[in-house]
Amino acid sequence: MNILTGNDLKTGAVIWWDGAGWSLHLDDAADAGDDAAAIIAREEAARRVNAPYAINAERTGSGVRPAHIKDRIRGLGPTVRPDLTLKPEDPQAVHEVI
Amino acid sequence: MYQYDQYDQAMVDARVAEFRDQCQRRIDGKLTEEQFKPLRLMNGLYLQLHAYMLRVAIPYGTLSGRQMRALADIADKFDRKYGHFTTRQNIQYNWIKLEDAGDILAELAKVEMHAIQTSGNCIRNISSDHFAGAAADEVTDPRPYAELLRQWSSFHPEFSYLPRKFKFAVIASDTDRAAMRLHDIGIQIVRNEAGELGAAFYVGGGMGRTPMIAPCIRQFVPLDQLITYSEACLRVYNRYGRRDNKYKARIKILVHELGAEEYTRQVEAEFAHLLEQGIEPPFAELARIRTFFEDPAFEAGAADELDRSDPDFAVWADRNTHPHKQAGYLSAVISLKPVGGIPGDATADQMRLMAQLAEDYSFDECRVIHTQNIVLPHVRKADLYAVWQKLEASGLGTPNLDQVGDIIACPGLDYCSLANARSIPVAQRISERFAANGKGETLGELKLKISGCINACGHHHAGHIGILGVDKKGVENYQLLLGGSEAEDTSLGKITGPGFSEDGIVDAVETAADVYLAQRQDGERFLDTYRRIGMEPFKEALYG
Ligand code: SF4
């Protein structure tokens, strides 16, 4: 699938296009299909996202998994600070992004 | 310590107001990201993997207790209660909100700090010897010259848009503790046979994609021509540096392509021209700056003995202190490398403790070391045990200075948007491995440095053992380098061969360490043994 990501303009938080808006949670990411460029242009112009880009990902049994490790780390948080990730209570989460 | 005068404060305050307005205009949509990006970078604000990152300049690494405390307060109030000390003697905050940037810069300005010129193609924070003003082996204190260069290079209009970023280091001893020859310009203050002080200029060093050791282009520049000669070096670079190709734009490439001789000839011609212009600051300015760096009121006759009855303290004192020029004093190094910890990270509470220790025991001064540790430069030997007890109680008492656990690691793929691979977990696993197998102490001095990409913020080229993270078809992979040094015997590490997985690189480092242990002769460090026996025995053990 073709998913969209960027950062929240004010907070810098990593966000994912969920089909209607932007979510903090990678697992909410929606397939933008062929509309990626149009969505990026529209959302960036409206300042609902900063520095957006499209990436390849796949939906697995446990959620959405970007093809590249960099985006998997963006989706979770720093692997060396599980307490600061989006899943601090899940000790497996860090291992799954690697 | 440097001190702002009314002009410095007014300039920094004006910049805070200007950037606050620019941030608001970005939030309001009056600036696009394309327009805003160069403005935020000029103020040290990056967009990294998880959030905005703010890099704050710490001039030649020096901080008062009040400044360190302000950094702690920013970590608490605007970030996630910690900061990361960098290999440029700066601090970075990883979780900054754009809407807070103006307030943070205002907090910094209150304690004579800023984030100006911590990014972009300009002259960056001037670095220096972290033992400056304390070490017994310096010919003079290099900090007044570092400060003069800082004042000259701050907002210098001609050098605001250089072909690439530009880094100075200034030292004043034959022992190089600042990786001087791996800078765009490295300056060593020296004394000539007539007893006069001058500056040896090393130009065109650097790490990154094309590492180079700077050649000395002039052995002795009189100190009252220091700025003029620096300006000449920069002018030739600014004129001919490769603006067409980012990867060839650093001064090291220009010096290499022209040849040191031709580059020097052009610098000398420019220097002769500039001497006629009279651009050197008046001597009175240097004299004024010097007064900021006078020795503190050391106690004459302070006890020169350490009470070593606590064996844990004795180990730390032997390992983590440096001789001081004043009898009865030492410089004490606080390791930010606990076993399994994140190199260079300190919590807000730890920063506050270090601020307090600086105030109580080190004449209100601490310094950031480029190895991502902190030094209390002037501690009475009689106070050292009390200092250590407080450090120990806060997880800051690790006795591993310059040992295998004292690893430089850049933020890597855990934080950095340019990274190919993670650096920090590799550092953590190596330090844990050597703590568990007990070899750390046996190995003695072994400087290990890790970068998450070829930009080499983790100085991997200059590690006795260096590790470079690469991206191998989307999987992290690690190259191993041996034989680098950033000391006065500067050398660049060589790659051993094919890279390793994350597990593999930890094993590979242990294998290399074992080769050293098996082959070392009396008194040899890892680096000495490598230089004597060469790469082959290591390759043989690593790849069979
Ligand atoms: S070396 Fe590369 S990965 Fe590490 S901090 Fe520098 S740019 Fe980022």
Helix or strand run (H / E) with residue B289: helix B283-291
**CATH dotted code for B134-291:** 3.30.413.10
Q: Can you give the length of chain A in residues?
A: 98
Task: Write down the mean pLDDT value for chain A.
Answer: 95
A79 to chain B, any CB pair closer than 8 A? The answer is yes
Q: How far apart are CA B235 and CA B58, in angstroms?
A: 26
CB B251 within 8 A of CB B241: yes
**Shortest Cα distance, chain A CAs vs residue B412, angstroms:** 10
Locate B75 and state its tokens: 């970590």
Ligand 1, pocket residues at CB < 6 Å: B 410-412, 416, 418-419, 451-453, 455-458
Residue B541 predicted with pLDDT over 90: yes
Asked if the Cβ–Cβ distance from A84 to B80 is below 8 Å, we say: yes
A95 to chain B, any CB pair closer than 8 A? The answer is no
Once rounded to an integer, what is the mean pLDDT over residues B27-44?
95
Q: Determine the residue type at B127.
A: S
- Structure confidence by residue, pLDDT tens digits, B252-269: 999 999 999 999 999 999
Chain B residues with beta carbon closer than 8 angstroms to that of A70: 49, 413, 417, 419
In angstroms, the Cα distances linking A87 to A97, B212, B224, B412, B533 are 12, 43, 59, 21, 49
CA of A66 to the centre of ligand 1 (A): 22
CB B214 within 8 A of CB B182: yes
Task: Name every residue whose Cβ is closer than 8 Å to that of residue A84 and which is 6 or more positions away in sequence.
Answer: A77, A78, B80, B95
- Give the angle B479-B483-B486 at the CA atoms, nearest 5°: 105
* 3 state DSSP class of B309: coil
Residues 468-487 of chain B with CB under 8 A from chain A are 474-476
Q: How far apart are CA B371 and CA B448, in angstroms?
A: 10
Tell which residue, B360, B446, B345, B359, has the closest CA to residue B396: B345
Q: How far apart are CA B59 and CA B243, in angstroms?
A: 28
Query: How many Cβ atoms sit within 10 Å of the Cβ of residue B82?
Result: 21
CB B149 within 8 A of CB B227: yes
- Structure confidence by residue, pLDDT tens digits, B268-284: 999 999 999 999 999 89
Asked if the Cβ–Cβ distance from A9 to B98 is below 8 Å, we say: yes
CA of B317 to the centre of ligand 1 (A): 33
B425 to chain A, any CB pair closer than 8 A? The answer is yes
What percent of chain B is modeled with pLDDT above 90? 99
A11 to chain B, any CB pair closer than 8 A? The answer is yes
Atom of ligand 1 nearest to the CA of B412: 3
**Percentage helix, strand, coil, to 5, in chain B?**
40, 20, 40
- Structure confidence by residue, pLDDT tens digits, B175-213: 999 999 999 999 999 999 999 999 999 999 999 999 999
Which of B97, B425, B476 minimises the CB distance to A12? B97
CA of B446 to the centre of ligand 1 (A): 22
Q: How far apart are CA B21 and CA B15, in angstroms?
A: 10
Tell which residue, B497, B490, B483, B485, has the closest CA to residue B543: B497
Tell which residue, B184, B225, B217, has the closest CA to residue B201: B217
CB A79 within 8 A of CB B342: no
B276 to chain A, any CB pair closer than 8 A? The answer is no
A55, A56, A70: best mutation site toward chain B, by most B Cβ within 10 Å?
A70
**Shortest Cα distance, chain A CAs vs residue B94, angstroms:** 10
Residue B1 predicted with pLDDT over 90: no
pLDDT given at position B312 = 97
> Is residue B535 very low, low, confident or very high in pLDDT (cuts 50, 70, 90)?
very high
Q: How far apart are CA B152 and CA B144, in angstroms?
A: 12
Task: Name every residue whose Cβ is closer than 8 Å to that of residue B218 and which is 6 or more positions away in sequence.
Answer: B200, B201, B229, B264
**Shortest Cα distance, chain B CAs vs residue A49, angstroms:** 10
SS (H, E, C) B214-248: CCEEEEEEEHHHHHHHHHHHHHHHHHHCCCCCHHH
* Residue A28: DSSP 8-state: G
* Residue B335: DSSP 8-state: P
**Shortest Cα distance, chain B CAs vs residue A45, angstroms:** 8
Chain A residues with beta carbon closer than 8 angstroms to that of B94: 78
Query: Strands B465-472 and B448-451, how do they pair?
Result: parallel
Residue B474 predicted with pLDDT over 90: no
Chain B residues with beta carbon closer than 8 angstroms to that of A9: 26-27, 98
> Is residue A71 very low, low, confident or very high in pLDDT (cuts 50, 70, 90)?
very high
- Structure confidence by residue, pLDDT tens digits, B405-433: 999 999 999 999 999 999 999 999 999 99
Residue B78 predicted with pLDDT over 90: yes
Residues 22-51 of chain A with CB under 8 A from chain B are 44, 47, 50-51
B386 to chain A, any CB pair closer than 8 A? The answer is no
Tell which residue, B115, B102, B103, B110, has the closest CA to residue B70: B110
B134 to chain A, any CB pair closer than 8 A? The answer is no
CATH number belonging to the domain at B6-110, selected among 3.90.480.20, 3.40.50.2300, 1.20.870.10, 3.30.160.20 = 3.90.480.20
Please give the class, per CATH, of domain B408-543: alpha beta
Which of B98, B417, B428 minimises the CB distance to A80? B428
pLDDT given at position A62 = 87
Based on C-alpha coordinates, what's the Rg of chain A? 13
Residue B464 predicted with pLDDT over 90: yes
Q: Can you give the length of chain B in residues?
A: 544
Maximum Cα–Cα distance across chain B = 68
Asked if the Cβ–Cβ distance from B424 to A67 is below 8 Å, we say: no
What percent of chain B is modeled with pLDDT above 70? 100
Q: Which residues pair with B45 in a beta bridge?
A: B54
Q: How far apart are CA B332 and CA A33, in angstroms?
A: 59
Q: How big is the A-B interface in CB pairs under 8 Å?
A: 69
Residue A91 predicted with pLDDT over 90: no
pLDDT given at position B374 = 98
Asked if the Cβ–Cβ distance from B51 to A69 is below 8 Å, we say: no
* 3 state DSSP class of B42: helix
- Structure confidence by residue, pLDDT tens digits, A19-40: 999 999 999 999 999 999 999 9
CB B205 within 8 A of CB B186: yes
- Helix locations, B60-176, DSSP H: 65-78, 101-110, 143-153
Residue B256 burial (C-beta neighbours within 10 Å; 0-12, 13-18, 19+): middle
Which of A10, A70, A80 minimises the CB distance to B97? A10
- Structure confidence by residue, pLDDT tens digits, B84-119: 999 999 999 999 999 999 999 999 999 999 999 999
Residue B222 predicted with pLDDT over 90: yes
Domains B134-291 and B408-543 share a fold: yes
A47, A80, A86: best mutation site toward chain B, by most B Cβ within 10 Å?
A80
Task: Tell me, yes or no, if the pTM score tops 0.90.
Answer: yes
Q: Domain coordinates of chain B in residue numbers?
A: 6-110, 134-291, 311-393, 408-543
**CATH dotted code for B311-393:** 3.30.70.3340
pLDDT given at position B437 = 95
Residue A10 predicted with pLDDT over 90: yes
Q: How far apart are CA B21 and CA B25, in angstroms?
A: 6
Once rounded to an integer, what is the mean pLDDT over residues B398-407?
98
The torsion defined by the Cα of B234, B60, B454 and A3, in degrees rounded to 10, comes to -110
CB A55 within 8 A of CB A14: no
ipTM above 0.95, yes or no: yes
Asked if the Cβ–Cβ distance from A79 to B425 is below 8 Å, we say: yes
Chain B residues with beta carbon closer than 8 angstroms to that of A73: 49, 413-414, 422
